[in-house]
Structure 1
Amino acid sequence: MAHVSDLIESDIEQYLKNHEHKSLLRFITCGSVDDGKSTLIGRLLYESKMLFEDQLAAVESDSKKFGTQGENIDFALLVDGLAAEREQGITIDVAYRFFSTDRRKFIVADTPGHEQYTRNMVTGASTADVAILMVDARKGILTQTRRHSYLTSLIGIRHIVVAINKMDLVDYSEQTFNQIVENYRSFAKQIGVEDITVIPMSAFKGDNITEPSPNMPWYHGTTLMGYLETVEIDDERRQHTPFRMPVQWVNRPNLDFRGFSGQLASGTIKPGDKVRVLPSGKESTVARLVTYDGDLEQAVAGQSITITLNDEIDISRGDLLVEATEPAAVAKQFETTIIWMHEEPLLPGRTYLMKVGTKTVSATITDIKYQVNVNTMEHMAAKKLELNGIGVCTVSLDQSIAFDPYKENQDTGGYILIDRLSNYTVGAGLLNFALRRSQNITMQHVDVDKTARSGQKHQKPCIVWLTGLSGAGKSTIANLVEKKLFAMGQHTYLLDGDNVRHGLNKDLGFTDEDRVENIRRISEVAKLMVDAGLIVISAFISPFRSERDMARNMVDDGEFIEVYINTPLDVAEQRDVKGLYKKARRGELKNFTGIDSPYETPEKAECTLDTTSMTPEECADMVIDYMRERGYI
């Protein structure tokens, strides 16, 4: 006879085994402020019996504390964990919760409703299969309803549930429900949303959440839980798309084994399949699919594996393994849609890091074609993207990458932008298509290269980049440096800010956007001159660290010397040779560095010159000494 404890242990093992093989659905709740998102999630947790007794007791106590009437529980308190959220009755951060039913496991993200937290909503939506768009039955379709609908469709969420909540507060009116449905479907046509399920409900009362509501006999559709338990999961669809696996790690534990590890982004793979490595284009066949638990006969999207090949091919982290007969495209210039997620605006010409799958490259936003007004879907001209702005842009990379259009494969067509200096994630983007010129333009090989040119001149080419406030003495010192180098027989060229604006950059003003473009063009010219074997001296205010860092990264290591002319603002203003500070103080000169436009001091300058204690001649000699000591001359 079996022991009772053995039977209990057997039941637990069976329960865990069943739980392990349940499918997992990720969904988000979104919409406007105070439309019941957190209440709905709390209700789902309660109905799925995912609460401990002490949690339930605490929420019941908090419900009375925060003013809930009668015996009703304020389910939103289960989710709104931040003190600030409980005090204000709103959701600020993205709150993730886990629950399960007999049929499925769920991860739900409760996203903020306020417009200023749109970036949080995008974060929550990035991995979701379903979006539950909450609509307050009393208010109907609002601005945030449209905004979040557009964002969910843009990000590629295929299934949208329009949850018309608080029906109890409009007396469960069928007419109110039908009017909201008509208004929403009219808007959905504008943004191309087709897979819509509309459910009238009351998250607070529990109507149509897990059981059909007797208060709305006129509604004959599914309950919310019934929908969530049966809707198709994108993981299942991804298995029927072409094979893609970004290489995360080259696995080489010993000389007898060399594999390539990563997670399958899409498709299936099995030994004997022919694969191609991108961007190199080399091909081979799969030898083994290796996992910790042994080899597999087949791997599917979502699994993490190590692939070994039958041929020795040079493959690195960031490369993409693809199906040989249906490969991804390779390019370095794209049209892209960007959702900007940082307080500092996106400026064309500025360089960022782009992370696509496991590959990180340098990316420059070359142009903003237009910004989307998410309320009207209007395309508006824009010179920059502010926080939460959505724009269609062109982007240029420093090297080619393998990709699929985002609409075809979110894993190989989506990316994030990272600020080079702070390492913050500043934007999320979708690759729409490669620009034709990306394939048509290639680097032409030349026999006389930089090494030959600089050897002929007996010098090490470099950029001597002088930066500082207007009036700091940049032009004076730069001129002295060039005179001294010229007298020593060195081959130089001086790029001065004012001189360049008379020709190459005469179309640019002094806004932040134009300053970025000014330095981008100068950096490209300086790079060409370094390739010609010259010592290039540049004298520009160049107020932003990002652009100075961009100029540094355009040339090889050791070819950029940043010289900071450290002159305090009051001293520079006293000099005011051109009278510019006086004009700026009178409001006649806008966007003047140091007055109404910022100057970001260098953090890694090779030379710092204090013009309050050194003469221009001494400053020039200090630069020359630095170059001589390090073998430039």
Structure 2
Amino acid sequence: LGVKQMIVGVNKMDTTEPLISQQKNQKKKKIEEIHQGSSSRLHQRRYGYNPCDLCPLCPSHGWNGDNMLDASPNMPWYKGWTIERKSGKSEGKSLLQALDAMEPPTRPTDKPLRLPLQDVYKIGGIGTVPVGRVETGVLKPGTVVTFAPANLTTEVKSVEMHHEALQEAVPGDNVGFNVKNVSVKELRRGYVCGDSKDTPPKATEEFTAQVIVLNHPGQISNGYTPVLDCHTAHIACKFREIKEKCDRRSGKKLEDNPKSIKSGDAAIIDLVPTKPMCVETFTDFPPLGRFAVRDMKQTVAVGVIQVCEAQDVTGGKGTKGCEKGQKKNNKGLDWAAIYQLGRPRGQKGASGRTFPLIPLSQNIWCCCVRVHRKEFQKEREKRPPFPPHVKKEKDSCCLIGGFF
């Protein structure tokens, strides 16, 4: 799941028999047993860690602070931990020293912006303020962003963290940002914000993931529909097809098209969200590519996304500010062809009828829109007569319009 560093803490050393400061040999032997047990679980059975190099083990007593900040005189039998990092060898005794020995991760500022929304607020005098943590990329005021899976595009007015304005927000920052002309009802927790000009996020139609079943009382087969917790999204997804059973550590194929899987098994599965959802592959965006499977009020499985198939969205909603630059492109369309496509088959048309989006090509679509009569008075003389299903009014008319 992308967790590359870990500390094993053994707390409540004061509750042991005998006490932590007595019978050194027994205490040392017990800690060695715990170390071996945790090492076996982390390395051999499930997670693939090498505890000797990556996971320091720290016995402690939190109530009195033994081995929390400094080495405790009550544990003279404990000789400390030693780990090997890329930066070199580290050693110590306390939990704080183990935390200080962790290597800071590199922040993916060079990747496209991804910011899953945690909450959306409406603040008086400011407007709509989505809140979330920047996972990848950089968020700046003035950036035109897209929210998936709603495919809503708008502009960022300002970015703040802890009531202080920021010139840019980098990965790891929990920020709130004000957006233009967007209602608080149009956004919700689980949406993903991205730069509309740099690989914007899209709604996911289906995805393929490697799933490891941790704790399920029965067997899982095709059609199983649990809840997936991926970043801030909490959406039910259907196990459409269990494609193959594989080794959870090496990924080697063990069986094609198994009928079911159980606790301890790993499998490659095609999943389909039951509601609009935005996820990414683990290799491209790790925070948006790992998930937990929840059922019966517990985590029954975990997984990482290998392949993600995005929905083909022909047109999305944009705010007025974002649409200003698009108005100049709405000329030179074949209105006769648009009328013909807009008229339903087998009908001459009904007054006031609203038609769905109709794609004309990869970049052009048409729908019923309202335009001012005066703006198109000259152009209408060159176009064919209005079809019978167009509703005419005094100051405006509803006609089929094309947009890039």
| TM-score normalised per structure 2 | 0.57
Residue matched to 1:383: 259
Identify which of 227, 244, 260 aligns with 2:114: 244
Relative distance call for 1:27 and 1:308 in structure 2 (3 A) is: same
Whole-angstrom CA distance in 1 between matches of 2:298 and 2:259: 22
Name the aligned partner's letter for residue 380 of structure 1: L
Matched, 1:266 2:223: no
What displacement does 1:59 show?
Answer: 6.5
2:177 pairs with 1:307:
yes
Deviations along 1:82-118, one digit per CA (max 9) or x if unpaired, are xxxxxxx65xxxxxxxxxxxxxxxxxxx9974xxxxx
Alignment of 1:155-554 (within 5 A): 162-163=52-53, 206=79, 209=82, 222-224=89-91, 229=100, 232-234=103-105, 236-254=106-124, 256-312=126-182, 314-324=186-196, 325-341=198-214, 342-374=216-248, 378-381=252-255, 382-419=258-295, 422-435=296-309, 439=312
Partners of 1:351 and 1:56 in 2: how far apart?
43
In structure 2, relative to structure 1, the CA distance for the partners of 1:429 and 1:26 (3 Å cut) is closer
Q: Structure 1 residues 397 and 282, CA, compared in 2 at 3 Å: closer, same or farther?
A: same
Give, in angstroms, the shift of residue 242 of structure 1.
2.5
Tell me which amino acid in the other structure corresponds to 2:176: T
The letter for the 2-side match of 1:223 is S
Q: Is the 8 A contact 1:264 1:302 kept in 2?
A: yes
1:413 positional shift: 1.3
Q: Secondary structure of the equivalent of 2:82? A: coil
3-state SS of paired residue (1:69): helix
Q: Tell me by how many angstroms 1:326 deviates.
A: 2.7
Q: CA separation in 1, counterparts of 2:292 and 2:81?
A: 38
Given that residues 372 and 391 in structure 1 are in contact (C-alpha distance below 8 angstroms), is that contact kept between their aligned partners in structure 2?
yes
> What amino acid does structure 2 have at the position aligned with 1:163?
D
* Number of equivalenced pairs: 283
Give unmatched runs, 5+ long, in structure 1.
1-24, 30-36, 46-54, 78-88, 91-109, 114-133, 136-142, 153-159, 166-203, 212-220, 441-446, 449-633
| Residues 164 and 232 (structure 1), Cα distance of their counterparts in 2 relative to 1, 3 Å cut | closer
> Could you list the per-position Cα deviations for residues 51-80 of structure 1 after superposition, in whole angstroms to 9, with x for gaps in the alignment?
xxxx88777943577x6528x756839xxx
Secondary structure, in 3 states, of the residue corresponding to 2:277?
Answer: strand
Return closer, same or farther for 1:205/1:258 CA change in 2, 3 Å cut-off. closer
Which structure has the higher relative contact order (CA within 8 Å, separation 6+)? 2
Question: Which is greater in Rg?
Answer: 1
User: Which residue in the other structure is 2:63 paired with?
Assistant: none
Rounded to whole Å, the distance in 2 between the matches of 1:288 and 1:164 is 41
Which residue does the alignment assign to 1:95? none
How far does residue 397 in structure 1 lie from its aligned partner after superposition? Answer: 1.5
Residue in structure 1 matched with residue 332 of structure 2 by the alignment:
none
Rounded to whole Å, the distance in 2 between the matches of 1:407 and 1:61 is 49
The one-letter code of the counterpart of 1:69 is: N
Aligned CA RMSD, in angstroms, stands at 4.3
8 Å contact kept, 1:63–1:74:
no
Q: By percentage of residues, which structure has more helix?
A: 1
What is the TM-score when the length of structure 1 is the normalising length?
0.38
Residue aligned with 1:248, SS:
strand
Identity rate, percent: 15
Unaligned residue ranges in structure 2 (runs of 5+): 56-76, 314-343, 346-404
**8 Å CA contact retained: 1:369, 1:392:** yes
Relative to 1, partners in 2 of residues 1:56 and 1:256: Cα closer, same or farther, differing over 3 Å?
closer
Aligned to 1:62: 19
Change (3 A) 1:148 1:267: same
Structure 2 partner of 1:145: 43
